[in-house]
Chain A
């Protein structure tokens, strides 16, 4: 066996690490370890000069294992693996110690932080000794794409991809395309018809020979991996199987139901309606109260279910501008009505929206502010002497007064929620949800439409509340990502998979039961389990389940983890 020669690099990350952690001390401590040939500290390891130092060291000193103590491996592990490859070393002969996110950024005491960093680096050194080279595998990319969701986002993605000459399968659960956009009258801030925007898109999609639309369809199962997915879809009771290389998830949003907010008496008072119900009225061209009369006083209440820990903590982002849109539309429809806009904060973000707010505020609309901390506005039925159908009472923040607003119609600007199917789709596609059931992107800034599952992209409101314009931006971005993947033709897949030692495996088949990807099958002839490496995603559950010890979770083997534990705990009783 060749001699183990380890290079260890402690990154300062400017002052991010070095201001709390004594990087020189760590480098000195690590230098004392067996097999460590080089131990350095450097200002920015991820910088070009940092990587070049690493590469030069590997070549000059015949290093065959590298440890970098820096930020989270979730950020720069790929960077350093590439550097190893450049130096001619297998990229898996590498281990990172996270001394930034999980050390210098969260601790205060310099001594403890440094001791912890030493332990983490020792653990990495101890582990890397047992690393084995793994070889990348390349698979061809199926050029078809499945788009889940037939709203404006899904339609846009589908068209972008089909127009580039690639097959698209568009899956829609309901019986029609268009989603929420088809249900709204005008868009903001331009006050253009949403229908005129969505209808041509729907017909383009329906008539495109490269787009197959599946209406009334649900996904039963998705299997496979990036470049080679397959799914069973069920349409009108019959199941069919389709195969494709990439998935765009555009499951969209669901309006929040305000029945759970007692103050608003939605469904109790007939003239308390939601924004989507008003859209229907606006599409029909008449806004009336439940008894068919023209409302003289109309209130619009913002943040219904948004920015409130009890319902949804987040801002639904589109409601303020939508409310302003309603104010404009109502003003034109009912020039003499008194309009009250009861808001918590006016967040008319986005191009043209602040101007839209300014213009709207000149249209004789009374803007009233409430503070959710002081309770929500309360709607009650009015007395006969009130000269209005209902009374809204609340503490108006800017005047500091408890006030009453007489109204005949109340429009609740309901929050947007993740679609109820979001969880199921996340389970099927293997992507993650944030605390609010919206999908988590791979990186909020650097990779906003990709997910942690390769080949699965997210676009539109399933990722978080946003307007039509931003949804379309994401739809096109996701389509571009897919098209670039198709253009590459083939991709490298996860190699840190499970491996069955056929000399030891006795065929108990426990592993087959636990594999979430059906990647393990039973070879009757040899009486052993067999892992399909393309299907395996490397979770390691089979490795920890195998009673015989025949399954090795590559790159997370028993010996690697046990050595890491040993290294982690070797530092006891040491002090600076």
Chain B
């Protein structure tokens, strides 16, 4: 039995649209949604859960992650209730639900705190620069070390615990028993989905966006690998250098396009931009651009005269690694893939249960 909570929807205001009333449940959104299936919270059902404040139902379901925001539902909606963005808002909210630290909730709900955090990180980087008397070499060395430590600690203390929390909420707490073999068999799909987002293609007329997103993910991850593990800034290997240029360029060109789109607001997906969305694309763009420029400066031999560039890059990198990745939009990269995995596991568990019931009856 779910108890209604009239206050619940007010809690969701900071995550996106505040008017949950427009929807009158005609079901057009569900009819047009490529991912809608029986019993999924896609999108009408999700909206209903918000309207009634059925908190547990929202927490326990991964369904909002199955939406790729093609925007068809919002275009089709006769009431301009914007179901696509409502789903997006639910994802923002769920990000904070999975975060065990509670920090992301603070960032999502308070702009001031978020901007303050950005400023503090920037100041800290400047402080470290001062510590090293603004010498390029040690600062770059520190920067390289910081990258490695950040990746490991964010993964160990934030990403992993949050994914476990997500599992706990959506599977374990609901007493859905999935056999280990099933769990293992789904892992391949999980990885494929994580890197290809191939389910986006189920949405109509989404190929360009999927491709852009796909090469961005690839570009970003490879840029990360190139700089962190292949020491792009320090290497003399011409192949690595060129490769770095390519993936760096991909990163900032694609994100530049994303930014332009968000400014133009033509497609449904670009119409509504939460602060977290802006932060994510702009910082990714800045990261790609600054990384690219540093290598250019290195190659034309003027980096020594332009320490400021590296400091700016380090500030962006630090803000990205300390704020956006663990507590911001970056996590959707993981949650979405795991959500598909969890949804698949739930489905299998359900069909297994039914099979068992049938066998009991026939026996």
Contact = CB atoms under 8 A, between A and B. Distances in A.
User: Direct contact between A and B in the complex (CB less than 8 angstroms)?
Assistant: yes
Interface of A: 338, 340, 361-362, 364, 366-369, 393, 396, 398-406
Contacts of A340: 4, 6
Interface stretch (B47-55, B132-140, B202-210, B245-253): B47-55
Nearest to B57: A401
B231 interface: no
Closest 6 CB pairs of A and B: A399-B48, A338-B6, A404-B3, A398-B25, A403-B2, A398-B48
14 contacts: A338-B6, A364-B6, A366-B52, A368-B52, A369-B25, A393-B1, A398-B44, A399-B49, A401-B54, A403-B1, A403-B4, A403-B54, A405-B3, A405-B4
A403 B3 CA distance: 6
B25 A404 contact: no
Given A398-B48, A399-B48, A401-B54, A366 B4 contact: yes
Given A396-B52, A399-B45, A399-B49, A404 B4 contact: yes
A279 B48 CA distance: 31
B20 to A, nearest CB: 10
Nearest to A363: B21
Given A361-B21, A362-B21, A366-B51, A402 B3 contact: no
Nearest to A392: B4
A357 to B, nearest CB: 10
B301 to A, nearest CB: 64
B3 A406 contact: yes
B1 A402 contact: yes
Of A340, A369, A401, chain B has the most CB atoms within 10 Å of the CB of A401
B59 to A, nearest CB: 14
A361 B24 CA distance: 10
B85 to A, nearest CB: 19
Interface in B137-180: none
Contacts of B52: 366, 368, 396, 399, 401, 403
A369 B24 CA distance: 11
Nearest to A404: B3
A402 B2 contact: yes
B21 A400 contact: no
Interface of B: 1-4, 6-7, 21, 25, 39, 44-45, 48-49, 51-54, 57
Contacts of A368: 4, 52
A54 B138 CA distance: 115
Secondary structure call for the A interface: strand
Contacts of B4: 340, 366, 368, 403-406
Nearest to A396: B52
B45 A400 contact: yes
Contacts of A399: 45, 48-49, 52, 54, 57
B81 to A, nearest CB: 12
Contact of B2 (A366, A367, A404): A404
A393 B49 CA distance: 16
A30 B6 CA distance: 75
Contacts of B39: 400
A500 B44 CA distance: 76
A361 B22 CA distance: 9
Contacts of A338: 6-7
Of B2, B4, B25, chain A has the most CB atoms within 10 Å of the CB of B4
A404 B45 contact: no
A398 B51 CA distance: 10
A505 to B, nearest CB: 72
Contacts of B2: 401-404
Given A398-B25, A399-B45, A404 B51 contact: no
A368 B6 CA distance: 11
Given A361-B21, A366-B51, 15 more contacts: A362-B21, A366-B53, A367-B51, A369-B25, A398-B44, A399-B45, A399-B49, A399-B57, A400-B45, A401-B54, A403-B1, A403-B4, A405-B4, A406-B3, A406-B4
Nearest to A364: B6
Contacts of B25: 369, 398
A366 B4 CA distance: 9
Contacts of A406: 3-4
Contacts of B48: 396, 398-399
B47 to A, nearest CB: 9
Contacts of B57: 399, 401
A314 to B, nearest CB: 25
Of B1, B39, B44, B53, chain A has the most CB atoms within 10 Å of the CB of B1
A389 to B, nearest CB: 15
Contacts of A367: 51
Contacts of A403: 1-4, 52, 54
A499 B4 CA distance: 74
B134 to A, nearest CB: 56
Nearest to B10: A364
Nearest to A369: B25
Contacts of A369: 25
Nearest to B6: A338
Nearest to A362: B21
A50 B115 CA distance: 87
A362 B49 CA distance: 18
A59 B350 CA distance: 85
A285 B239 CA distance: 83
A20 B25 CA distance: 44
A405 B49 CA distance: 14
Nearest to A357: B24
Of B52, B54, B57, chain A has the most CB atoms within 10 Å of the CB of B52
Contacts of A398: 25, 44, 48
Contacts of B7: 338
Contacts of B49: 399
Contacts of A396: 48, 52
A300 to B, nearest CB: 14
B321 to A, nearest CB: 40
A405 to B, nearest CB: 5
Of B3, B39, B54, chain A has the most CB atoms within 10 Å of the CB of B3
A364 B53 CA distance: 13
Contacts of A364: 6
A523 B53 CA distance: 83
Contacts of B44: 398
A367 B9 CA distance: 13
Nearest to B23: A398
A364 B54 CA distance: 16
A255 B45 CA distance: 37
B167 to A, nearest CB: 24
Contacts of A405: 3-4
Nearest to A401: B2
B182 to A, nearest CB: 27
A364 B1 CA distance: 23
